[in-house]
């Protein structure tokens, strides 16, 4: 009431009048000294009331705004005293935790009788600084919520800390999203690293930004270097670069590529390059993915060769059939006409053709794994001699000089005699064919050399070299295709397949060098300790 009175001018006037009236009355009744004291008391009381109401008035003028803000702000606000008891809360706090005035904050937030281990309120009370923590709390409904909590000190007029204001925001949703993102990232990373193909990421300057595990292991890491330098030892972009194409048009490009692995072997890869876009949709990097198809290519070549071999064999069988039919006719004619010479000729024809078929079948069985392997300790020079003998006549017939170069003897090793014989026979046959089909008339005669020796490591090296027509075309991906010939009459058509099988069985390797028009050399190397291998 007094504050209302003293806050306005008419009010003030009224107060003065009343006061004057009272003083007048008292003056008449009291001793002058007593009156003076009473007057002073009344006036100072009036002064105090005025002063205090003024102060409250000012405070009350701004206080409603702060209060509204406090109540409505969308985070949990609570004010705690030095004993951690809640003395004030805002709307949101009350709705999720209840109006828990007087209760300890740790009881309200966590249902615990003790303060939390890292209680930020205590910290703030201790050092007067703001503190931030993440806490997990239980709402009034019993749900768990993750919060980020800020505590600030509340000070009195003297600057002493009398309490703490706690502000908390619910970050449960945020935390969940974070987890999802992290889990998504982890999955992606796993995929990137573990997928069984080579993945690399290059920037617009062809610099390698990132590679996956397999890549690192087999091709080397080389982060920061240009890709063309690392894979192909070039100092500029490779021709027909897929990465370049993708950088230009932002599309996926693919093709085949040969790379040199860290272990020194070559691999054939099928490569896809796909664009990586930035937020504006521009291509900022390229991801290159490659799968090793070396094995697939090898099988493809083998199958192609086998297919063609079958065609050749059919052709040769046709010839043999003709030979047999023809010889039957010749023999019959001879018998009809009583021409013994003719009969004899016909009979020889049958024998020749029969031998041919026999050879073909033997080779076919060998290739289709029906033959039993018989390994024994032997000196291979004997086999070489036998093959030389076998082809001497035929070579002479074609005016080919068949030369044998072997040491007097060689250390014995584990060999399947027939297999080695087959191998050398096939190689010599190919050589004869190469000479016979050679259209170069400027050569000073044809020559085939058949040799055997031990190299510095004690391995057996068999070589068949000719100066015939050579193998046309580039030394390509398909080793077998290069040898293919439909014109030849010498072999059974299975030559290369047999050669390959023999090498596999003995743990050896076969290579060749050739110059078109000049000649070919085959080298079959058998390891010193040729293992006795069982056929799978």
- Give the interface with other proteins as residue ranges (CB under 8 A): 315, 318-319, 321-323, 325-327, 329-330, 333-334, 337, 342, 345-346, 349, 352-353, 436-439, 486-487, 489
| Least distance CB 318 / other proteins (angstroms) | 6
Assign 336 to helix, strand or coil: helix
End-to-end CA distance of the chain: 113
Closest CB 326 distance from other proteins, rounded Å: 3
SS3 letters for 241-276? CHHHHHHHHCCCEEEEEEEECCCCCEEEEEEEEEEE
Query: What is the 8-class DSSP label of residue 472?
Result: -
Beta carbons within 8 Å of 456's beta carbon, 6+ residues apart: none
- Looking at beta carbons only, is 300 or 358 nearer to other proteins? 358
Note whether 431 and 448 are within 8 A (CB).
yes
Residue where the block lists tokens 């072999």: 491
In whole angstroms, how close is the CB of 464 to other proteins at the nearest point? 20
Closest to other proteins by CB, 354 or 523: 354
Which CB sits closer to other proteins, 315 or 535? 315
- DSSP assignment letter at 535: P
CA dihedral 11, 14, 20, 26 (to 10 degrees): -100
Task: Between 108 and 402, name the residue whose CB sits nearer to other proteins.
Answer: 402
Copy the structure tokens of residue 408: 């007097």
- Minimum distance, C-beta of residue 376 to other proteins, in the bound complex (Å): 37
Inter-CA distances, 137 with 111, 142, 153, 217, Å: 9, 9, 22, 48
- Shortest distance in whole angstroms from residue 423 CB to other proteins: 24
- Least Cβ distance, residue 393 to other proteins (angstroms): 14
Of the pair 424, 436, the CB lying nearest other proteins is at: 436
Taking the complex as a whole, the smallest distance from the CB of residue 335 to other proteins amounts, in Å, to 12
User: Least separation, in Å, of the C-beta of 399 and other proteins?
Assistant: 12
Q: Quick one: 283 or 350, whose CB is closer to other proteins? A: 350
Question: Rounded to 5, what percent of the chain is helix, strand, coil?
Answer: 50, 25, 30
CB of 512 to other proteins, least distance (A): 22
Name the residue nearer to other proteins (CB basis): 115 or 326. 326
Q: Which H/E stretch holds residue 216? A: helix 213-219
State how far the Cα of 303 lies from the Cα of 486, in Å rounded to an integer.
17
In the block, tokens 């002063």 appear at 51
From residue 97, how far is each of 87, 120, 135, 141, 166 by CA, in Å? Answer: 14, 19, 15, 8, 14
Q: Is the Cβ of residue 188 or residue 329 nearer to other proteins in the bound state?
A: 329
Kindly tell me which of 273 and 485 has the beta carbon lying closer to other proteins.
485
Partners of 277 in the β-ladder: 283
Non-local CB neighbours of 125 within 8 Å, separated by 6+ positions: 82, 153, 161, 164
Q: Tell me whether residue 468 or residue 495 sits nearer to other proteins (CB atom).
A: 468
Compute the CA torsion angle 310, 316, 317, 319 (nearest 10 deg). Answer: 150
Question: Closest distance between other proteins and the C-beta of residue 518, in Å?
Answer: 17
CA distance linking residue 256 with residue 253, whole number of Å: 11
CB 346, CB 330: distance < 8 Å = yes
Nearer to other proteins, 325 or 401 (CB): 325
- Report the SS3 class of residue 508: coil
Is 186 strand, coil or helix?
Answer: helix
- What are the backbone dihedrals phi and psi of residue 226, each rounded to the nearest 5 degrees, phi first? -75, 145
For residue 448, the minimal CB distance to other proteins (Å) is 16
């Amino acid at each position: 009431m007094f504050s209302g009175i003293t806050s306005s001018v008419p009010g003030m006037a009224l107060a003065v009048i009343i006061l004057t009236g009272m003083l007048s009355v008292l003056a008449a009744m009291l001793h002058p000294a007593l009156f003076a004291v009473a007057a002073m008391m009344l006036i100072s009381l009036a002064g105090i009331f005025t002063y205090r109401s003024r102060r409250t008035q000012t405070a009350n003028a701004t206080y409603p705004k702060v209060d509204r803000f406090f109540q409505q702000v969308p985070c949990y606000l609570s004010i705690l005293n030095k004993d951690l008891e809640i003395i004030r809360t805002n709307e949101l706090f009350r709705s999720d935790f209840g109006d828990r005035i007087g209760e300890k904050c740790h009881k309200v937030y966590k249902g615990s009788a003790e303060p939390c281990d890292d209680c930020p309120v205590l910290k703030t009370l201790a050092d007067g600084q703001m503190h931030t923590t993440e806490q997990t709390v239980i709402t009034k409904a019993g749900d768990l919520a993750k919060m980020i909590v800020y505590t600030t000190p509340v000070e009195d007029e003297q600057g002493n800390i009398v309490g703490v204001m706690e502000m908390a925001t619910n970050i449960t949703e945020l935390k969940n999203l974070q987890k999802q993102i992290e889990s998504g990232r982890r999955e992606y990373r796993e995929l990137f690293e573990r997928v069984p193909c080579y993945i690399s990421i290059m920037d617009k300057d062809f610099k390698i930004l990132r590679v996956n595990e397999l890549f690192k292991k087999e091709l080397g890491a080389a982060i920061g270097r240009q890709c063309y330098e690392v894979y192909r030892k070039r100092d500029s972009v490779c021709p027909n670069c897929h990465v370049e194409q993708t950088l230009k048009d932002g599309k996926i490009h693919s093709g085949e590529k040969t790379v040199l692995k860290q272990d020194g072997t070559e691999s054939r890869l099928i490569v896809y390059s796909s664009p990586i876009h930035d937020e504006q949709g521009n291509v900022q990097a390229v991801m290159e993915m490659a799968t090793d198809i070396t094995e697939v290519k090898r099988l493809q070549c083998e199958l192609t060769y086998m297919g063609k071999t079958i065609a050749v064999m059919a052709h040769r069988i046709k010839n043999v059939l003709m030979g047999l039919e023809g010889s039957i006719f010749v023999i019959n004619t001879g018998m009809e006409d009583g021409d013994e010479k003719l009969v004899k000729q016909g009979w020889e024809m049958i024998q020749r053709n029969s031998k041919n078929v026999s050879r073909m079948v033997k080779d076919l069985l060998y290739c289709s794994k029906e033959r039993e392997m018989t390994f024994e300790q032997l000196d291979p020079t004997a086999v070489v001699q036998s093959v030389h003998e076998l082809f001497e006549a035929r070579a002479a017939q074609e005016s080919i000089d068949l030369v044998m170069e072997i040491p007097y003897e060689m250390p014995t090793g584990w060999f399947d005699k027939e297999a080695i014989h087959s191998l050398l026979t096939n190689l010599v046959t190919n050589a004869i064919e190469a000479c016979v089909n050679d259209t170069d008339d400027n050569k000073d005669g044809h020559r085939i050399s058949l040799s055997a020796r031990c190299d510095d490591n004690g391995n057996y090296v068999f070589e068949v070299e000719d100066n015939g027509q050579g193998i046309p075309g580039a030394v390509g991906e398909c080793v077998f295709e290069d040898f293919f010939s439909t014109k030849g009459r010498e072999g059974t058509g299975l030559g290369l397949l047999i050669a390959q099988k023999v090498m596999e069985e003995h743990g050896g390797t076969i290579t060749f060098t050739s110059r078109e028009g000049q000649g070919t050399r085959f080298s079959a190397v058998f390891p010193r300790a040729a293992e006795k291998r069982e056929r799978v």
